[in-house]
Amino acid sequence: MLPAANSRPVEGILWTFGAGVLFVGVNVLVKYLGPVVPAAEMAFLRYALGLILLVPAIRQIMRLRLSRRQWWLFGLRGALHSIGVSLWFFAMATIPLADVTAMNYLSPIYVTIGAAIFMGEKLAARRIIAVVVALLGALVILRPGFREIGPGHIAMLVAAVVFAGSYLLAKQLTDETDPVAVVTMLSLLVTVGLIPLAAPVWVTPTWFQVAILFATAIFATVGHYLMTLGFRAAPITVTQPVTFLQLVWAVALGAILFHEPVDPYVVLGGLMIIGAISFITWREAVAKRKQITPPFPTQKMH
């Protein structure tokens, strides 16, 4: 939690808003290329081209002294993220933009469940209710038995779980090593991990397609940097609601650019998931504040 005196909410909101615009740009560009470039190839090129932006961080990688366990954790995270990215690109190419965006919000819910199962974090009754509401929101989006659930929806469900696992590993590694190195190692390992997935479906891209994928790499990298600036400027309870605007933009751009029908059930399910995430975030902020604030008024020491 940032101290109140150091919190800059307007700045945090603006950084987060800018990050959201860039992430929406990534989604639109990937959606545009989806029908002509295989998903695994798009994912590989996006990460391979993105390595150009991470050249300055290579020195920090060279200085790392990692234990065997840490190498194993890096490798596991790289493998999980490679699978998740491929599934996400496939989902983006095959199902509506709004569906992908709404279901992507399930990752924090899976992180909460994973932290309870693998890290021993306790789940209070209210957080359990929030998790259940979010999962019900996913059912509202999918509506099994009332709509066709395609491979893209299954891919997105699995991708959200895989990304949650990647996040939990990132949290562990960030506590033990340099955060910049964690990001750079992910990009390196995901690029390598995507090679066997992209090679069997490879289609020689045009220079225009390469340029678009390079733009997605730039948008994604700068977007994550702006998001970090937003978190540094203001508490996550202030900045996180701004990220939920991406669902609004996804619905609007899906309808305008790709002629996707507006599905009210997707919007409703997405709002249920967003509400659950907001509640969990708020409860965590309250818990941290209680840890920081002394339980009794402090007395002056003479």
pLDDT in tens, 240-255: 677 788 888 888 999 9
Higher confidence at residue 289 or residue 12? Answer: 12
pLDDT score of 288: 63
Half-sphere exposure of 290 (CA within 13 A, CB side): 6
Token representation of residue 213: 């994928």
> 46 near 55, Cβ under 8 Å?
no
Above 90 in pLDDT, residue 289? no
In DSSP notation, 2-42 reads --GGG--HHHHHHHHHHHHHHHHHHHHHHHHHTTTS-HHHH
Q: Which residues contact 123 (CB under 8 A, 6 or more apart)?
A: 112, 116, 131
Q: Which residues contact 200 (CB under 8 A, 6 or more apart)?
A: none
Residues written for the chain: 302
Q: How confident is the model at residue 126 (pLDDT cuts 50, 70, 90)?
A: confident
Residue 147's φ and ψ, nearest 5 degrees, are -145, 160
Q: How confident is the model at residue 75 (pLDDT cuts 50, 70, 90)?
A: very high
Query: How many of the other CB atoms lie within 10 Å of CB of 221?
Result: 18
Q: Tokens 């340099």 label which residue?
A: 178
Average pLDDT over residues 32-53: 92
Residue 3's φ and ψ, nearest 5 degrees, are -60, 150
> 156 near 100, Cβ under 8 Å?
yes
Q: What is the pLDDT of residues 155-203, one digit of tens each?
A: 999 999 999 998 888 888 877 777 777 778 888 899 999 999 999 999 9
pLDDT score of 7: 66
Cα–Cα distance, 279 to 244 (Å, whole number): 13
3-state secondary structure of 75: helix
Q: By percentage, how much of the chain surpasses pLDDT 70?
A: 89
The whole-chain average pLDDT of the chain stands at: 84
Above 60 in pLDDT, residue 279? yes
Q: How confident is the model at residue 207 (pLDDT cuts 50, 70, 90)?
A: very high
Q: How confident is the model at residue 295 (pLDDT cuts 50, 70, 90)?
A: very low
Cα–Cα distance, 49 to 68 (Å, whole number): 29
pLDDT score of 287: 65
Which contacts (CB < 8 Å, 24+ apart) does range 154-158 have?
155/87, 155/88, 155/90, 155/91, 155/94, 156/87, 156/88, 156/91, 156/95, 156/99, 156/100, 156/103, 156/104, 157/103, 157/106, 158/83, 158/84, 158/87
> 276 near 109, Cβ under 8 Å?
yes
**Amino acid in position 151:** P
Average pLDDT over residues 122-146: 86
Higher confidence at residue 294 or residue 140? Answer: 140
Least confident of 72-76, 115-119, 127-131, 134-138: 115-119
Q: What is the pLDDT of residues 96-110, one digit of tens each?
A: 999 999 998 888 888
Average pLDDT over residues 204-217: 95
The segment with the largest mean pLDDT, out of 47-51, 178-182, 226-230, 289-293, is: 47-51
Q: How far is CA 165 from the centre of its chain?
A: 11
Q: How confident is the model at residue 237 (pLDDT cuts 50, 70, 90)?
A: low
